[in-house]
C-alpha cells in the first residue's frame, strides 16, 4: 500500500517507515517564532543551556505588535533583538518586514519537502509550497532551541479535492469558508489535509496560501498541496538550495475524502463567533458594519490588493466605515505602491497601515468598540479576537470586504 | 494520582482566545496574573471562584485556535487539576502535556458530569468517578508519558540533556 505525503516526509525525517498514529522524534529543518521569542528565550534559559544548538535553523520575525503599542511590547521587542544577537540567529526580521507567514516564503525559508515548525498556529500555511509545516507551543520551541528535536504524531490524511472554475469574483477565501462550514471547526482535528484537484493545480500562490493557512481553522495539523508552476516560479531565486518535491503515492490511503465543485460557489461569510458559522452572503446582506480590516496572513497579498483597488478606485468608503489596510509584507507593500493601488485606496478614504498583523489578535491598531461590527479578511472571528469581547467579526473575501465598505453594510457583489 | 475537584462545565469549541485573550499574550506573563484572566471572555466568575484541584470539562475541539500555551499554563496557575473533553485541538493537547496538565478524553464522562459537582480522577486506573458512574479514559501514548512524568517538557528536556 502506498503512502501519503505526510507519512513519506515524516518517514524520511525519522529515518524509518512510519504509519499514522505513530509518534516519532524528528529534527525540523526550519523553526519559526515571532514576538513570542522573548518568552521562548526565557524558557530556553530555564532549561540551563547557554547556546541555541542550531541557530541557522531558526527564523525570528517581529510582526504581532509592530511598532510596539506600549512599553511592555517595546521591552518584548528589545529582549528579542538582544537574544537573536547573542545567539547568532541571523535570520531575523525586524518590525518593518511583514507578517511571519508571508515573510517566511518571501525570504526563502520555505521549500517543497521541508519540515517546518512554528510557534504559531497558522504555520500550516507552508503546505501551499509543498512543505510539511505545523504549529507548536512556546516551550516546544525552547526545547528545539536546546535539543534541535521535537516529537510529532504521524497524522491520518484527509483529501479535499476541488474542481470547477470559480464564477467571476469568487475566490479561494469563499471556498475555504465553504469548506469550514461543511466539515466544521474540528472536521480535520489532528489530521493532515491534502488539497488536490484541477482547481487547486491552477491556483495562484496567494489563492493557495489561503487554504493552507486556514487548514488549522478546521483543526488540521498540516495543509499540503503539490507545488504547481506558480509556486515553483515564486520560489525561484528565493530558495538557495536543492529540494525534492514529495508527493503522495497514487495508492495511498486516505481517511476521508471530500469533494467540492466551485462552479456555482457563492460569496461566503463566517458569522460571529466561530469560523464554521458560515452562510452564503445573501443571508447576512444588509448587516451594518463599522470597520473593515483588510489584512492578515490570509488575505493581504498583491492579488488581494488588485481586487480591492479595482473595487474602490474613484469611489469613496462610506463615511460610517473605517477601512484599515495592512499589506502582508513590505515586499507586497512596495509592489502595490508601485502599481498605484495604495494611491487608489488612500484616495478612497482607507487608512493605510504598516505591514504586520495589525489588530488581528487584538493587540492594537484597530480594536473595535462595544457592539461594533468588523468585516475582516483574516482567519478568526472568535469572541474577543480583535481585542473586545463585546464586538462582532465577520470573515469574508477581500472583494466582499471592499464592496461592503462602500455602502456601510454587507453586500453581495454580484448584484 | 488522584485528582479531586469541582466541575466547571462548558460547551464545544472552547477556543484559546476565550481561555487566555490574545491581547494579554505579551503583557500578562506572571503566573499569578495569568490565573486572574483565565477564561475571562468565557466565564468571568471562573477566575474568582476556582479552587485548587477543580476540573474543567469541555465538549469537542477544546482549545482550538491559537498556539498560545498560556491557555494551558493559566489553568495550571489557577490550580486546575485536569481538563476533560470529548476531543482536544492538537496544539492545545500538546501544550497541556508540556505543562503537566492532565488532558483526558472521554465523551461519555463529559455528557454525564454536571456543572458544580465534585468528581474524582484516578490517573493510575484511568477512571473518572462522578455521580452518574465510573468512566474510563484511554492512557496517554507511551512516548509522551515520559514528558508528563517528568513534570512537563522543560524538566523533561533537562533530563534528556543530562542537566540537573
Ligand atoms: S496576521 Fe493574524 S493570524 Fe496571521 S500571524 Fe498575524 S496574528 Fe496570526
> Going from the N-terminus, what domains does chain B have, and what CATH number goes with each?
2-161 (3.20.19.10)
Residue B122 has pLDDT above 90, yes or no: yes
Helix (H) or strand (E) holding A394: strand A392-395
Task: Give the per-residue pLDDT at A303.
Answer: 98
| Residues 6 or more apart whose Cβ sits within 8 Å of residue B125 | none
| Contact state of B29 with A39 under an 8 Å Cβ cutoff | yes
Task: Give the per-residue pLDDT at B13.
Answer: 94
Segment A79-123, tens digit of pLDDT: 999 999 999 999 999 999 999 999 999 999 999 999 999 999 999
Residue B156 has pLDDT above 90, yes or no: yes
Residue with cell 454587507: A410
Preferred mutation among A117, A121, A123, A152 to probe B, highest tally of B CBs within 10 A:
A121
Q: Which three cell numbers stand for residue B137?
A: 479514559
What is the predicted ipTM?
0.92
Task: List Cα–Cα distances, B26 to A68, A76, B30, in angstroms.
Answer: 11, 7, 11
Segment A29-68, tens digit of pLDDT: 999 999 999 999 999 999 999 999 999 999 999 999 999 9
| Contact status of B10 with chain A (Cβ, < 8 Å) | no
- Do residues A77 and A35 touch, judged by C-beta distance below 8 A? yes
CB contacts < 8 A (A, B): 136
The torsion defined by the Cα of A382, A385, A386 and A392, in degrees rounded to 10, comes to 20
The residue to mutate among A362, A379, A384, A395, having the most atoms of ligand 1 within 8 angstroms of its beta carbon, is: A379
Which pairs count as long-range contacts for A278-281, CB under 8 Å and 24+ apart, including other chains? A278/A177, A278/A178, A278/A180, A278/A181, A279/A181, A281/A396, A281/A400, A281/A410, A281/A411, A281/A412
CA A100 to ligand 1: nearest atom: 5
Task: Give the per-residue pLDDT at A1.
Answer: 82
Task: Give the per-residue pLDDT at B143.
Answer: 81
**What is the full per-residue pLDDT of chain A (415 aa) written as tens digits?**
899 999 999 999 999 999 999 999 999 999 999 999 999 999 999 999 999 999 999 999 999 999 999 999 999 999 999 999 999 999 999 999 999 999 999 999 999 999 999 999 999 999 999 999 999 999 999 999 999 999 999 999 999 999 999 999 999 999 999 999 999 999 999 999 999 999 999 999 999 999 999 999 999 999 999 999 999 999 999 999 999 999 999 999 999 999 999 999 999 999 999 999 999 999 999 999 999 999 999 999 999 999 999 999 999 999 999 999 999 999 999 999 999 999 999 999 999 999 999 999 999 999 999 999 999 999 999 999 999 999 999 999 999 999 999 999 999 999 9
| Contact state of B153 with A23 under an 8 Å Cβ cutoff | no
The residue to mutate among A120, A381, A395, having the most atoms of ligand 1 within 8 angstroms of its beta carbon, is: A120
Query: How does strand B118-122 pair with strand B127-130?
Result: antiparallel
Helix (H) or strand (E) holding A72: helix A71-87
| Residues 6 or more apart whose Cβ sits within 8 Å of residue A100 | A32, A34, A61, A63, A118, A120, A297
Find the A33 Cα to ligand 1 centroid distance in Å. 12
Q: What percent of chain B has pLDDT over 70?
A: 100
| Contact state of A362 with B21 under an 8 Å Cβ cutoff | yes
| Contact state of A186 with B13 under an 8 Å Cβ cutoff | yes
CA distance A58 to A357: 20
Q: Where in chain A is the domain with CATH 3.30.499.10?
A: 5-259, 270-407
Architecture of domain A5-259: 2-Layer Sandwich (3.30)
Enumerate helices (H) and strands (E) in chain B, giving the number of each: 8, 7
Burial of A223 (0-12, 13-18, 19+ CB in 10 A): buried
Instruction: Measure CB to CB from residue B17 to each of A36, A153, A384 and give the nearest one.
Output: A384
pTM for the full predicted model? 0.96
Residue with cell 479578511: A377
Q: Does A378 contact ligand 1 (Cβ within 6 A)?
A: yes
Q: What CATH number does domain A270-407 carry, 3.40.50.720, 3.30.390.10, 3.30.499.10, 3.50.50.60?
A: 3.30.499.10
Q: Give the closest residue (by CA) to ligand 1 atom 6.
A: A357
Q: Does A64 contact ligand 1 (Cβ within 6 A)?
A: yes
Cα atoms in the Cβ-side hemisphere of radius 13 Å centred on A5: 31
pLDDT band for B164, please (50, 70, 90 cuts).
confident
CA distance A306 to A106: 19
Q: Give the closest residue (by CA) to ligand 1 atom 5.
A: A297
| Contact status of A213 with chain B (Cβ, < 8 Å) | no
- Do residues A131 and A192 touch, judged by C-beta distance below 8 A? no
Helix (H) or strand (E) holding B33: helix B31-37
- Do residues A155 and A221 touch, judged by C-beta distance below 8 A? yes
| Contact status of B114 with chain A (Cβ, < 8 Å) | no
Task: Give the per-residue pLDDT at B104.
Answer: 95
Q: Does A154 contact ligand 1 (Cβ within 6 A)?
A: no
* CB-CB neighbors (< 8 A) of A38 in chain B: 26
* CB-CB neighbors (< 8 A) of B158 in chain A: 47-48
Task: Give the per-residue pLDDT at A209.
Answer: 98
* CB-CB neighbors (< 8 A) of A135 in chain B: 67, 91
Measure in Å the smallest separation between the Cα of B62 and chain A Cα atoms: 9
Amino acid at each position: 500500500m502506498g503512502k501519503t505525503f505526510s507519512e513519506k516526509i515524516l518517514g524520511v525525517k525519522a529515518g524509518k517507515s512510519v504509519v499514522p498514529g505513530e509518534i516519532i522524534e524528528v529534527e525540523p529543518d526550519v523553526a519559526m517564532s515571532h514576538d513570542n521569542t522573548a518568552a521562548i528565550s526565557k524558557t530556553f534559559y530555564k532549561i540551563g543551556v547557554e547556546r541555541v544548538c542550531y541557530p541557522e535553523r531558526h527564523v525570528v520575525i517581529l510582526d504581532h505588535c509592530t511598532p510596539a503599542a506600549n512599553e511592555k511590547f517595546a521591552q518584548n521587542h528589545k529582549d528579542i533583538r538582544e537574544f537573536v544577537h547573542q545567539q547568532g540567529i541571523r535570520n531575523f526580521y525586524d518590525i518593518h518586514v511583514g507578517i511571519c507567514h508571508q515573510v517566511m516564503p518571501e525570504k526563502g525559508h520555505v521549500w517543497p519537502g521541508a519540515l517546518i515548525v512554528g510557534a504559531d498556529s497558522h504555520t500550516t500555511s507552508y503546505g501551499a509550497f509543498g512543505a510539511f509545516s505545523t504549529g507548536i507551543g512556546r516551550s516546544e520551541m525552547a526545547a528545539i532551541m536546546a535539543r534541535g528535536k521535537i516529537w510529532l504524531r504521524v497524522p491520518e490524511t484527509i483529501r479535499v479535492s476541488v474542481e470547477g472554475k470559480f464564477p467571476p469574483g469568487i475566490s479561494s477565501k469563499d471556498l475555504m469558508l465553504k469548506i469550514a462550514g461543511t466539515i466544521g471547526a474540528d472536521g480535520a482535528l489532528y489530521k493532515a489535509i491534502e488539497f488536490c484537484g484541477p482547481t487547486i493545480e491552477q491556483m495562484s500562490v496567494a489563492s493557495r496560501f489561503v487554504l493552507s493557512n486556514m487548514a488549522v481553522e478546521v483543526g488540521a495539523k498540516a495543509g499540503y498541496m503539490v507545488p504547481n508552476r506558480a509556486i515553483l516560479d515564486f520560489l525561484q531565486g528565493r530558495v538557495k538550495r536543492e529540494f525534492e518535491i514529495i508527493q503522495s503515492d497514487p495508492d495511498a490511503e486516505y481517511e476521508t475524502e471530500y469533494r467540492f465543485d466551485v462552479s456555482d460557489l457563492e460569496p461566503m461569510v463566517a458569522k460571529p463567533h466561530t469560523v464554521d458559522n458560515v452562510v452564503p452572503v445573501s443571508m447576512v446582506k444588509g448587516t451594518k458594519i463599522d470597520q473593515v480590516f483588510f489584512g492578515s496572513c490570509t488575505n493581504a497579498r498583491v492579488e488581494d490588493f488588485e481586487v480591492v483597488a479595482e473595487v474602490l478606485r474613484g469611489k469613496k468608503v462610506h463615511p460610517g466605515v473605517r477601512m484599515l489596510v495592512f499589506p502582508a509584507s513590505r515586499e507586497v507593500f512596495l509592489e502595490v505602491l508601485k502599481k498605484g493601488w495604495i494611491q487608489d485606496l488612500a484616495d478612497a478614504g482607507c487608512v493605510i497601515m504598516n505591514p504586520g498583523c495589525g489588530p488581528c489578535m487584538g493587540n492594537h491598531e484597530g480594536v473595535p468598540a462595544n457592539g461594533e461590527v468588523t468585516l475582516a479578511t483574516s482567519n478568526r472571528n472568535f469572541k474577543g479576537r480583535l481585542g473586545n469581547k463585546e464586538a462582532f467579526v465577520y470573515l469574508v473575501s477581500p472583494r466582499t470586504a471592499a464592496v461592503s465598505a462602500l455602502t456601510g453594510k454587507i453586500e453581495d457583489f454580484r448584484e | 494520582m488522584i485528582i479531586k475537584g469541582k466541575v466547571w462545565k462548558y460547551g464545544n469549541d472552547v477556543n484559546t482566545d476565550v481561555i487566555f485573550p490574545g491581547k494579554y499574550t505579551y503583557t500578562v506573563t506572571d503566573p499569578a496574573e495569568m490565573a486572574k484572566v483565565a477564561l475571562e471572555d468565557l466565564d468571568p466568575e471562573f477566575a474568582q471562584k476556582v479552587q485548587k484541584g477543580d476540573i474543567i470539562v469541555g465538549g469537542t475541539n477544546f482549545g482550538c485556535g491559537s498556539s498560545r500555551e498560556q491557555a494551558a499554563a493559566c489553568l495550571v496557575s489557577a490550580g486546575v487539576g485536569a481538563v476533560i473533553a470529548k476531543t482536544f485541538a492538537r496544539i492545545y493537547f500538546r501544550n497541556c502535556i508540556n505543562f503537566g496538565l492532565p488532558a483526558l478524553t472521554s465523551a461519555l464522562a463529559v455528557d454525564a458530569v454536571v456543572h458544580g459537582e465534585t468528581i474524582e480522577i484516578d490517573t493510575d486506573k484511568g477512571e473518572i468517578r462522578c455521580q452518574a458512574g465510573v468512566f474510563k479514559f484511554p492512557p496517554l501514548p507511551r512516548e509522551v508519558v515520559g514528558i508528563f512524568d517528568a513534570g512537563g517538557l522543560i524538566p523533561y528536556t533537562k533530563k534528556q540533556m543530562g542537566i540537573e
